[in-house]
Homo-oligomer: A and B are copies of this chain.
Amino acid sequence: MLEELKKEVYEANMQLPKLDLVTFTWGNVSGIDRKKGLFVIKPSGVDYEKLTPEDMVVVNLKGEVVEGQLNPSSDTPTHTVLYNAFPEIGGIVHTHSPWAVSFAAANMDISPLSTTHADTFYGEIPVSDPLTKEEIETDYEGNTGKVIIRTFKERNIDPQAVPAVLVSQHGPFAWGATPAKAVYNAKVLEVAAQINYHALTLTHANINVPQYLLDKHYYRKHGAKAYYGQDNAESKNHAIRK
C-alpha cells in the first residue's frame, strides 16, 4: 500500500540527519496521498540507521493506523490535525533542531532579517501561543496541532506563505507541497534562526527587512512570476539570450 509514498517519506526522513536537523530519533516526516485520504509517517523512536521504507506507518485522516506493524510517531495527532486544516500541504516535518528550539524556548518569533529568510518565508515565523494546562493534559499532540492553527488564524498568517511554526517551549514544525519540500523548509528555518541569533545579539537596531525586499525575494522563488532556478514559470524568460 502506497509504496511510492513510503519511499518518498523514508527518503525525506533520512535527509534529517544528513542536514544536521536531528539528534537521536527526535524528528519525523510524513507525506500524504490526498486522493486516498491517507498519510505515511515515520514510526516512533526508531533509529535512523535502522529505518527502512517498509517501517513507515499508514494513517487515515482520523488519525487511525491503517497499515504498519510499528507504532507511528507520537506526534501523529499533530500531523493529522495539520493535514485536515491545511488542505494544500503534502508533507510535514517536526524536529528538535537546536537553533529553532532556542527561539521556541525563548518564546520569540523568527523575524525576517535577511533575504535568506525572505526567499522561503513571507514574513516572521511565529512562535505559537503556549498550550494551556488543560490542552497539555488531554490530547496533547492533537492540541499542539490546534494551537498551531489558532496561532496562524489569530495572527492572520497564511500557512502557505509561512510554512513553519515554532511550538512554544517545544520546537519547530514545517510543511510544504511534498515531504522533501517540508524538510527543505525546516532546514531554511534552522539557518534563519542561526542568522537571527547572531544578528540580534550584534545590534538592537531595527533590522527587519522592508516589505519591498521581502516581496522581491519571496516572489523571485514563488508564484506566477518566480524566475529562480530551472523550473519556475518565468525562469526561461528571465535569462536574456543573445
List chain A positions with a Cβ less than 8 A from chain B. 23-26, 43-46, 57, 60, 62-66, 70-72, 74, 76, 96, 98-99, 101-108, 113-116, 130-131, 133, 136-137, 140, 169-171, 184, 187-188, 191, 194-203, 205, 207, 209-210, 212-213, 216, 220, 227-231, 235-236, 238-242
B72 touches A239 (CB 8 A): yes
- Residues in B whose Cβ lies below 8 Å from that of A216: 136-137, 140
Docked complex Cα distance between A209 and B171 (Å): 13
Are the C-beta atoms of B60 and A184 separated by less than 8 Å? no
- Given A23-B191, A191-B98, decide whether A213 and B45 contact each other with a Cβ distance below 8 A: no
User: How far, in Å, is A216 (CB) from chain B's closest CB?
Assistant: 5
Which of B25, B101, B187 is close to A195, meaning CB atoms less than 8 Å apart? B101
